[in-house]
Amino acid sequence: MAPTRWPPPPLLLLLLFQFAAATATPEDASGPPPSPTPWPERFHAVLFTNLTNYSVASTGPPLRITDLYYDWPRRRNLNLVRHQLSADPLYDVEWNNGTSFYFDSSTCRVERFPVGVLPPWWLSGGGAEYMGRGVTGGIECHVWGKAGFIVYYEEASTGRPVRWNFIDVTGIEQFVMSFEPGVALENDAQWQAPARCFPDDDDDDEKEEQGKGNDHVASSSEEAVWDGLEAGIRLLRNLAGAAATS
Ligand SMILES: *[C@@H]1O[C@H](CO)[C@@H](O)[C@H](O)[C@H]1NC(C)=O
Ligand SMILES: *[C@@H]1O[C@H](CO)[C@@H](O)[C@H](O)[C@H]1NC(C)=O
Ligand SMILES: *[C@@H]1O[C@H](CO)[C@@H](O)[C@H](O)[C@H]1NC(C)=O
């Protein structure tokens, strides 16, 4: 049998589960499984992102540094995405009404999603399956899986998020490099979606619905970049929907 390069998602989950179970401590086995820590209402995190199933054909540059400003009171999620060796960062502004703007110095793309910003309890509110303890980046963690979409690591001693992996074709893995609860973006002028995101006031809605075929996307290489990002964002939004209804 030819070895597969990457196990299919259920196998991956099973392997992770078995690994976690094998390394779980006896005290964990006796008590009830721990619950994930809710996210703080506001935080700033710096994430290292690796699209581990990167392929030139399907995705943009696989390595990114993302500044994430999560702001639940304002129902806003900001991602400043820097691709490796690119001088032109990508702004991703997500609003709770389901509208997301993605723009850099020359392009803009507007997407509509059926659900809004993830609530702080998207994982702690139910539906997370405890997978045991695990060590990632040398940090002792509790590990949960949710709905076959995500594997989530939080630091066992503090509850801080450490890492999450999306179980999807891009294999997005995000590593939390810094985590600052309570920090909100101070000057958000540069996060205002630029005029090019609003070409015709009259038929905005219609254009927004068009998705991928949309001519707001400047080039096919740009489009490739969106594909990977979108996969992750869609998953997070699906999870938000699942959390809200479970
Ligand atoms: C990104 O993921 C790929 C596939 O798992 C791995 O080979 C590569 O070393 C990773 N790169 C970094 C910088 O972590
Ligand atoms: C959602 O909110 C943003 C920010 O206020 C706004 O720019 C956008 O047009 C809104 N979308 C809809 C569909 O109302
Ligand atoms: C990796 O990506 C390729 C296409 O780019 C896809 O066919 C394959 O299913 C992906 N692997 C996984 C594990 O999702």
pLDDT of residue 202: 52
- Identify the nearest ligand to the CA of 57 by its number: 3
Give the strand pairing for 99-103 and 108-112: antiparallel
Q: Where are the domains of the chain?
A: 10-22+38-191+208-240
Mean local confidence (pLDDT), 104-122: 90
Which protein residue's CA is at the shortest distance from atom 10 of ligand 3?
Answer: 169
Q: Is the CB of 169 under 6 A from ligand 3?
A: yes
136-159 pLDDT, tens digit per residue, is: 999 999 999 998 889 999 999 999
Class of domain 10-22+38-191+208-240: mainly beta
Q: Is the CB of 191 under 6 A from ligand 2?
A: no
Mean local confidence (pLDDT), 169-190: 91
146 CA → ligand 3 middle, Å: 20
Sorting pLDDT into bands at 50, 70 and 90, what band is 23? very low
3-state SS assignment for residue 43: strand
Mean local confidence (pLDDT), 23-45: 79
Alpha carbon separation from 96 to 50, 51, 110, 142 (Å, rounded): 26, 26, 14, 29
pLDDT of residue 155: 98
Q: Which of 71, 93, 96, 97 to mutate to test the pocket of ligand 2 (most atoms within 8 A of CB)?
A: 97
pLDDT of residue 234: 54
Per the listing, tokens 């080039």 go with 219
Cβ(143)–Cβ(20) below 8 Å: yes
Sorting pLDDT into bands at 50, 70 and 90, what band is 106? very high
Q: Is the CB of 97 under 6 A from ligand 2?
A: yes
Q: Which of 52, 65, 165, 173 to mutate to test the pocket of ligand 1 (most atoms within 8 A of CB)?
A: 52
Between 189 and 244, residue with greater pLDDT: 189
pLDDT of residue 2: 45
Give the strand pairing for 99-103 and 90-95: antiparallel
Alpha carbon separation from 201 to 103, 130, 140, 197, 208 (Å, rounded): 18, 48, 51, 10, 11
Structure tokens at 89: 């960062």
Per the listing, tokens 């940090």 go with 139
Indicate the pTM of the whole model.
0.75
Q: Is the CB of 12 under 6 A from ligand 3?
A: no
71-93 pLDDT, tens digit per residue, is: 999 999 999 999 999 999 999 99
